[in-house]
Structure 1
């Protein structure tokens, strides 16, 4: 779909042909960016490691990026890992500001104060875990060590208890068991299967 829409996108076709033939294209056709920053993979244009999204697919990608109703800053950070198009930051800002769900939450008063965590005393004294996504059909399990700020990020196809246990087993086998594990109380973290793995140790 990306390749087909790229070929049919009038704003990308000159750059695509230039990358295919090795010929330099006009500055305006490459959005004022050095042509060396772009490459071509199976008729899909990339800028560095990021896919250049054709015009017709940008709304769909914005919806994918915003599926979990991240704020503007986090949504921009997620986008920078995967995709690019001219004025993407502005499109993200406008998309978030026009999200009815986000606006409703923004207008609600704070229900309770944030939990003041004590500083961790050593690595894996306390870890924070969560799932992000879905983004383009993939979820991301994240674990942050409160002491070192070391991040662990694993891509998965689902967020079941079994998948969660397998990822945690992999991480804990390398770093040891944490003293405290903090989650958003998702059902996979509260399940009996998850608790019996480590709660007795």
Structure 2
């Protein structure tokens, strides 16, 4: 009995640690980026003006990139290098908001080649997103079988209140689609 309680405590601790958001600061990005060859090459190319040394995935952006310290920018968005992309995606994906909200939030602040594809892949492979998405879907419409004669199967609905204060009771026969409408002054049964 003791071991199952200990296992439960460890699991709760694991969930709490995993759910704690890890922040990402510009200083942290700069410190981490200074250690990687990919960024140093981009930084050197931007400062030297020689596009031939630019890594292939950034070559077409030569005129759009700028640097502040060791942070590379494409316009006003921070360029995230390979080693930080998973962490940035995890932060943006927190709360299982779905593809549309992640795409609205993330690319407005950061950029990397294929950011949209990475967002879609992360959301499509996330179990939490799949569960959340299924809960938000409308139930499928079901067909009713056609009755053999009229007035065997009917549908009824109440519309109102209308601006006059009245309600409409609508009854439809499923067999012949004939409808009856009754004006009611009160909706109480």
- What TM-score, normalized by structure 1, do the two folds share? 0.49
Single out whichever of 35-44 and 19-28 deviates more from structure 2.
19-28
Contact 1:15 1:25 in 2 (8 A): no
Range moving further from structure 2, 52-61 or 26-35: 26-35
Aligned runs of 1:26-175 on 2, under 5 Å?
26=53, 28-29=55-56, 31-108=58-135, 110=137
Gaps (5+ residues) in structure 1?
A: 113-201
Give the 5 Å matches for 1:12-27: 12-26=39-53
CA 1:111–1:91: 2 relative to 1, 3 Å: closer
The alignment covers a number of residue pairs equal to 112
SS at match of 1:31: helix
Summarize the Cα distance change of 1:54–1:27 in structure 2 as closer, same or farther, 3 Å threshold: closer
C-alpha separation between the residues in 2 aligned to 1:25 and 1:32?
A: 8
- Higher relative contact order structure (alpha carbons within 8 Å, sequence separation ≥ 6): 1
CA RMSD of aligned residues (A): 2.3
Instruction: Report what 2:183 is aligned to.
Output: none
> Is 1:5 matched with 2:23?
no
Q: In structure 2, how many angstroms separate the alpha carbons of the residues matched to 1:15 and 1:70?
A: 33
Show CA shifts across 1:35-78 (max 9, x none): 11000001100000100012221111101111132221221121
Q: Is the 8 A contact 1:5 1:54 kept in 2?
A: no
**Distance across 1 between alignment mates of 2:61 and 2:109:** 19
- The structure-2 alpha-carbon separation of the partners of 1:83 and 1:18, relative to structure 1 and needing over 3 Å to count, comes to same
Contact 1:45 1:51 in 2 (8 A): yes
Superposition deviation, residue 79 in structure 1? 1.4
CA distance in 2, matches of 1:10, 1:35: 17
> How far off is 1:30 after superposition?
5.2
Q: 1:109 to 1:78 in 2, by over 3 A?
A: closer
